[in-house]
Chain A
Amino acid sequence: MSQTPPTSSSPETVPLPPQGAIVPVNAPSRQLGDLPTDELNHLAENFGLVPEDFKSKQHLIAALHERRQRIAAMDRDAMLDVVRWGRRPNPINAGKEQIAIEIARIKTMKFEGLSPRGLAIIATMRGINVEPNDSLVRLIRRLRKQEGLFKRFNRKRRAWIGGMISNMLGEEEPSSEYKFLPAQPGAGNPVSSARSTVRDDIEEAGVIGGLTSRIKKSADSYLNQKLDEIEQRIDRKLDEIDRRLADWRDKEIANRVRIMKITLWVSVIVALVSLIISYVQVYIAPAKNVKPPTTIQSNP
Chain B
Amino acid sequence: MPHIDLFQFFRFWLGWVVTIYATILTLQSLYGWYIWLAGEDKYISLLRRYILVQGLRLRFKTFWGDVLVCALLTMAFCILWRAHHVMYDLKVALESTR
Residues of A within 8 A of B (CB): 245-246, 249-251, 253-254, 257-258, 260-261, 264-265, 267-268, 270-272, 274-275, 277-279, 281-282, 286
Inter-chain contact B66/A257, CB cutoff 8 Å = yes
The prevalent SS among residues of B at the interface is: helix
User: Is the beta-carbon distance between B66 and A250 smaller than 8 angstroms?
Assistant: no
For chain B, give the interface size range. 20 to 34
By a CB distance below 8 angstroms, the chain B residues around A265 are 73
Q: Which residues of A contact B73 (CB under 8 A)?
A: 261, 264-265, 267-268
A64 to chain B, nearest CB (A): 40
CB-based contact B84/A261 at 8 Å: no
Write the chain B residue with the least CB distance to A249: B54
Question: With A264-B77, A268-B73 as given contacts, are A250 and B62 in contact (CB-CB < 8 Å)?
Answer: yes
Nearest 10 interchain pairs by C-beta:
A264-B73, A271-B80, A254-B63, A257-B66, A278-B87, A282-B91, A250-B62, A257-B63, A261-B70, A268-B76
**Taking the complex as formed, is B7 at the interface, i.e. its CB lies under 8 A from any CB of chain A?**
yes
Give CA–CA (A282, B88) in the complex, Å.
8
What would 27 A/B residue contacts be, using CB atoms closer than 8 Å? A245-B54, A246-B54, A246-B57, A246-B59, A249-B54, A250-B58, A250-B59, A250-B63, A251-B62, A253-B63, A254-B63, A254-B66, A258-B63, A258-B66, A261-B66, A261-B69, A268-B77, A268-B80, A271-B80, A274-B7, A275-B83, A277-B7, A278-B84, A279-B87, A281-B91, A282-B90, A282-B91
Expressed in whole angstroms, the Cα–Cα distance for A253 and B98 within the complex equals 54
A275:B63 contact, CB within 8 angstroms: no
Q: Which residues of chain B come closer than 8 Å to A258, judged between CB atoms?
A: 63, 66
Write the nearest CB–CB distance from A48 to chain B, whole angstroms. Answer: 42
Among B62, B74, B87, B91, contact of A264 (Cβ-Cβ < 8 Å):
B74
The answer to whether A272 and B80 touch (CB under 8 A), given A278-B87, A279-B87, is: yes
Residue of B nearest to A272 (CB): B80
A271 touches B81 (CB 8 A): yes
Residue picked from B63, B81, B91, most chain A C-beta under 10 Å: B63
Query: Inside 8 A of B81's CB, which chain A residues have their CB?
Result: 271
